Amino acid sequence: MAKEVSECTVWEIRVMKLMGTPVGDRNNWSISNYFYLQVLAACFYPALLEDDSLPLDVKQRAESLLRECDGGSVGSYTDSSGITKIKHCVSQFITRRDGGVPSSPDNIFIKSGSQTIMLKLLIHSKDSCQTGVLIPVPTYASFIIALEEQGAAIIPYHLCEEQGWTLQVEELRKALHTGRKTCNPVALYICNPGNPTGHIQSRKSIEEVIRFAAEERLFILADEVYQSCVYGDDTEFYSYKKVLSEMGSTICSTVELASFNSVSKGFMGECGLRGGYMELVNLDPAVKEYASRLFSARSCPPVVGQIALDLMADPPKPGDPSFPTFSEVGEVFAELPGISCQPLKAGFFVFPCLHFSLKAIKWAKKRQMEPDMLYCLRLLEETGLHVRPGCEYGQRKDSHHIRFVKADDFHISLFKIKDAME
């Protein structure tokens, strides 16, 4: 897309300015909203720190992270539960998320993705009485395989599809009762937000589940990796930890909970980096010691994943050089007819709203397709640009959106959309 400055429209220049691209330098499309990619690249190859093209906050973050690595290299082993400074960062993130509920780095274990360690502690695969774990139906396949691998008995509880895949305690009770006939249930696995259902538990539902776990003496495994993928105005994510902390002193100090989060979902979507963490609540200190040992036998989590976690937990703030580009996006979209966008508060996904004419909506209905889905298909055909329609994510009735998947083509995407709309 190299063009001479004089050939760029005013609008295009505006976009370039937004992207932090020196206007007129057609060879340098350095995109300053790539904060985390730049930090990672600089951590890999510190010679980049001497580069002028990297923003100051990128350099500072990379330098501070490299200082935490032995020998200043991301190639060194780290502590088996993760770099201390990063665990601190994650605990602060959790505290902020939960509106001030304290979180200790000592209860945080950074790991590369799976929940196997907790399963290893909980499950006796040899005993005459098999250990049982309650799991939702539907659930994702690899977790089932993980349970089978550990030799756990699987106790399914059904989510209520008619009510949007809600979790009903009565169903839990029924499942537990059945389970107790054939095994020794010790843990309750919850996935919130749900995979594959996309359901987000209400606060009340979470309280009911916690109360149930308290009464029935179950260890809660709360898989919350989709917590940053919350769409729609009326839904809010409540962490199990937060809700637990606000429930009476007996419950909040006794119910054992392990919650899981990762950089694989949500705004970062950096699954390949394998960065994630587990926070333990009310775990017996003697058992925690053994959890640490299991971690140490696995040497350490990948350093790159740990860094990604740090960036997720502590993204650029207003005022940082890498921040402004997000919020100005709305203004750029304002220039495009028929499309508007809320200020981006976080993340790498742009979710602008499309305003279709009645004619367009009717036409889509005739083809039995959502208007935004049809728009995406047309866009793909005419421009080769691949975006996802809002109907896949959930949106208010009669509103239509598109979601950009590939942020590194962002500026090109904008040009193409503009061309397509004309």
Range 192-221, binding other proteins (CB under 8 A): 214, 217-219
Q: Which of 66, 229, 294, 412 binds other proteins (CB under 8 A)?
A: 294
* Residue 16, C-beta contacts closer than 8 angstroms, at least 6 positions apart: 8, 23, 411
Q: Does the protein bind other proteins through residue 369 (CB under 8 A)?
A: no
What are 170-175's contacts with CB under 8 Å, separation 24+? 172/134, 172/209, 172/212, 173/212, 175/134
Buried b (16+ CB within 10 A) or exposed e, 203-229: eebbbbbbebbbeeebbbbbbbbbbbb
- Looking at 4-12, 22-30, 364-372, 412-420, which segment touches other proteins (CB under 8 A)? 22-30
- Buried b / exposed e over 111-146, threshold 16 CB at 10 Å, is bbbbbbbbbebbbeeeeeebbbbbbbebbeeebeee
| Residue closer to other proteins (CB basis): 220 or 364 | 220
Region near other proteins per CB under 8 A, out of 204-212, 293-301, 349-357, 370-378:
293-301
Q: Does 56 help bind other proteins (rule: CB under 8 A)?
A: no
* Of positions 161, 170, 408, 419, contacts other proteins by CB under 8 A: 408
Q: Which of 23, 56, 145, 334 binds other proteins (CB under 8 A)?
A: 145
Spatial neighbors of 37 by CB under 8 A, at least 6 apart, are none
Distance CA 76, CA 53 (A): 27
Is residue 235 a contact partner of residue 227, using CB atoms and an 8 Å limit?
A: no
Tell me the closest approach of the beta carbon of residue 199 to other proteins, in angstroms. Answer: 22
**Which part of the chain contacts other proteins (CB under 8 A), choosing from 190-198, 271-279, 335-343, 351-359?**
271-279
124 binds other proteins (CB under 8 A): yes
Applying CB under 8 A, which part among 27-35, 154-162, 197-205, 321-329 lies near other proteins? 27-35
Site residues (CB under 8 A) for other proteins, limited to 59-88? 69-71, 73-78, 80
Q: How far is the CB of 274 from other proteins (least distance, A)?
A: 4
Instruction: Return the number of the residue (53 or 340) whose C-beta is nearest other proteins.
Output: 53
Question: Residue 10 burial (CB < 10 Å; 0-12/13-18/19+)?
Answer: exposed
**Least separation in angstroms between CB 372 and other proteins:** 21
Residues of span 218-247 touching other proteins by CB under 8 A: 218-219
Residues 6+ apart with CB under 8 A from 122: 131, 133, 152, 186, 187, 219
> Among 34-42, 95-103, 237-245, 352-360, which window interacts with other proteins (CB under 8 A)?
34-42
| Nearest distance in Å: CB 321, other proteins | 16
In whole angstroms, the minimum distance from the beta carbon of 47 to other proteins comes to: 8
401 in Cβ contact with 395 (< 8 Å)? yes
* Distance between CA atoms of residues 9 and 352, nearest Å: 22
Cα 271 off chain centre by? 9
Smallest separation (angstroms) from other proteins to the CB of 14: 21
Beta bridge pairs of residue 175: none
Q: What span, in angstroms and rounded, lies between the C-alpha atoms of 133 and 153?
A: 6
For other proteins, the binding residue among 17, 120, 388, 403 (CB under 8 A) is: 120
170 binds other proteins (CB under 8 A): no
Amino acid 119 reads L
Asked if residue 354 binds other proteins (CB under 8 A), the reply is no
